[in-house]
Structure 1
Amino acid sequence: MAYQDGQNQKSRGLPGFLPGYPDPDQSHPTVPSNSRKQVSLQSLPPPGNLPPGLEYLSQLDLIIIHQQVELLEMILGTETSNKYEIKNCLGQRVYFAVEESICFNRNFCSPLRSCTLRVTDNTGREVITVHRPLRCTSCWCPCYLQELEIQAPPGTIVGYVVQKWDPFLPKFTIQNENKEDILKIVGPYATCGCFGDVDFEVKTINEKITIGKISKYWSGFVNDVFTNADNFGIHVPADLDVKIKAAMIGACFLFELTVQWRRQNISN
C-alpha cells in the first residue's frame, strides 16, 4: 500500500493517514482553542472485553509519542530516565510514560539496558507496563535479540515485540499473549534520520500487505545534535485491536533506544 508523500509533507502534525480513510480535517471535529490539553477518559463508555484504561485507543488511528527533553541531559550529557507524552492527533495528552532503570545501566549500557516503562492515564492509573530485558543490539548477532513484554493492565500479558534476525533491515514481530505471530514491522536500511523521517512499515506476516506504519519524525538539526529526544507516530486502522496498539506503543520505546544508538554511532 503506497503512502502519499505530498500529504506527509503538508502537515507534520497529522502525517501519513492510511489511504481510503476520511480526510483528517473532516473526520475530527474542531476543538475550541481553550479546550483542555488532556483527554478525560472517565466520560467514555466502558466497552466490553477491553483492558481497563485502553478504551480510548479503540478510537485512534494516529498515536503520537513525544519524548520530553531533559535539561540535565542537555547540560551534562548524561542519560536520564526517559519520559514520554502519548497524544492523539489533536495534540491532547492521553497517556504519560516514565522509564524505570538504574543510573549505571543508563550511562554504561545505554542501548542494551534493561528497563521498565510504566504508562499511566491522566488520572494517574497505570494502564500499560512494558518490560525490556537486557538484550544485544547488533544486527550481526543472530541470538539474544531485542524483546519486549507488554502488560495491560499490569500483571496481564497482552503481547510481545520480538526482533527477528536480518543482516540488513531492522525487523520485528508483534506477538499475542501466546507468542503467536500477528504482524511484522520492517524498517529501512538507514535509520539515522538525518534531515527526514524514518518509517517502519507494519505488514502482515507474509509481508505482502502494509496496514500501517510507525514513523520516527525528524525533530530538527538542533534537537538532534544536543538531545536524544525523539518523536514517533503510529498510523494504523482505528479498528485494530487495542492490545496490538499497546504493543506498538511498546515498539516505539524500543525503537527510540535502538535508533538513538545508531545515531550515536554515526556521530562518533
Structure 2
Amino acid sequence: MASQQPIQNQPNQGVEWMSAPQAVTGAPPGLEYLGALDQIIVKQRVELLEMLSGYETQNKYDVKNSMGQQCYFAQEESDCCSRQVCGPNRPYVIHITDNNGQEVMSVRHEFVCCTGCCWCATNSSCGYEVAIEAPVGNIIGYAKQHTSAWKPHIRVLDANRQEMFVLRGPCCWGCQNVYCTDDIEFSVTDQAEDKYLGRMFKRWAGCGRETFTDADTFGVTFPLDMPVPAKALLFGAVFLVDFMYFERAKHSY
C-alpha cells in the first residue's frame, strides 16, 4: 500500500507558471486555478531509465493551461516492487501540488486483483476506482470503471457516490493506441448521457515515443463556468484513464 506521506514537488527549472488566481467561491484551497480554465493539459515526463530499460519508475506530470503555462505538478507515490509486478493494478497515490510545493489534491487507488475486465467492472470487487481528495483527506468524489461491451466506460461520482459524469472511449482502444497516428478521445457527458460537456483525450506523440515509453500527454476540456470541484473530479479522472488504458498498453504488446 502506498504511504500517506506527500512527495516533495519537483517542478521544471525555468518553467512559466500561470498567474496566481483570485479566490473562487466554493473552490477547495489551492484549486482556484481551475476556475479560470476550460481545458487542462497533463503531460507525463519522459524518464530515461524507463525508456532504455523498461524499469517502471514513479510517474511525474506537468499540468498546464492551454497557453502552456504550468498550474500544477503531479507525482505518483507507489512501491517499487508493485510497479514492476502489478502494473496498473498497483496501489498508488498521485500527489498534486501548486507552484509553492503545497499539496492541494490527491488521487488514490487501492490494489485490485481483477484485470479490469469491462464485462464485470461494475461489481464492487472488480474494475478500477480512484478516490479524489481536495484538500488531502477530504474525498470530493470518485472515478470508477463500469460495465461495457467493448468501449471504455468510466463514471465520475460525487462524495456521496451520486453519478455526475460519464466518460466513454473509442472501440478497440488498444489497437488504436499502438497503430493509430491520431489522438484518442473520450467523450464527457452528463450522468444521463444526454448532454455533451467536453472531451478527454490522449495526444499522439509520434512512433518512437509511442513505442518505447508510456510518457503520454492527456487533456480534458469542460465548460468554463463548471464548478471547480466538478472540474477537479474530471482532472482526477485523467489519471485513472492513464493507468487503466495507457500504462497497461506499453506492457501488453
Normalising to structure 1: TM-score of the pair?
Answer: 0.82
Amino acid at match of 1:232: F
Question: Does the CA-based 8 Å contact 1:184-1:207 persist in structure 2?
Answer: yes
| 1:221 paired residue number | 207
Give SS of 2:29's match: coil
Give SS of 1:167's match: coil
Give SS of 1:250's match: helix
Question: Does the CA-based 8 Å contact 1:200-1:215 persist in structure 2?
Answer: yes
1:92 aligns with 2:69: yes
Q: Which of these residues, 168, 186, 209, is aligned with residue 200 of structure 1?
A: 186
Q: Percent identity?
A: 39
Aligned length: 231
1:239 aligns with 2:221: no
1:127 aligns with 2:109: no
Gaps of 5+ in 2: 1-13
Amino acid at match of 1:104: C
How far, CA to CA, are the matches of 1:261 and 1:72 in structure 2? 16
Q: Which of these residues, 163, 179, 185, is aligned with residue 167 of structure 2?
A: 185
| 2:91 paired residue number | 114
Question: Does the CA-based 8 Å contact 2:214-2:250 persist in structure 1?
Answer: no
1:168 aligns with 2:145: no
Amino acid at match of 2:231: K
How far, CA to CA, are the matches of 2:77 and 2:30 in structure 1? 21
How far, CA to CA, are the matches of 1:139 and 1:265 in structure 2? 19
Question: Does the CA-based 8 Å contact 2:214-2:247 persist in structure 1?
Answer: no
Question: Does the CA-based 8 Å contact 2:211-2:250 persist in structure 1?
Answer: no
Q: Deviations over 1:88-126 (max 9, x none)?
A: 000011000000000111010012111000000011010
Gaps of 5+ in 1: 1-34
- Counterparts of 1:1-268 in structure 2, within 5 Å, are 37-41=16-20, 44-135=21-112, 136=114, 137-142=116-121, 143=123, 144-192=126-174, 193=177, 194-261=180-247, 263-264=249-250, 267=253
| 1:30 paired residue number | none
Cα-Cα RMSD: 1.6
Give SS of 1:240's match: coil
Give SS of 1:111's match: helix
Normalising to structure 2: TM-score of the pair?
Answer: 0.87
Give SS of 1:179's match: coil
Q: Deviations over 1:200-254 (max 9, x none)?
A: 0001122122110001111111101111111111111111121121111221111
How far, CA to CA, are the matches of 1:91 and 1:128 in structure 2? 21
How far, CA to CA, are the matches of 1:91 and 1:264 in structure 2? 27
Task: Mark the CA change 1:36 to 1:170 in structure 2 (over 3 Å): closer, same or farther.
Answer: closer
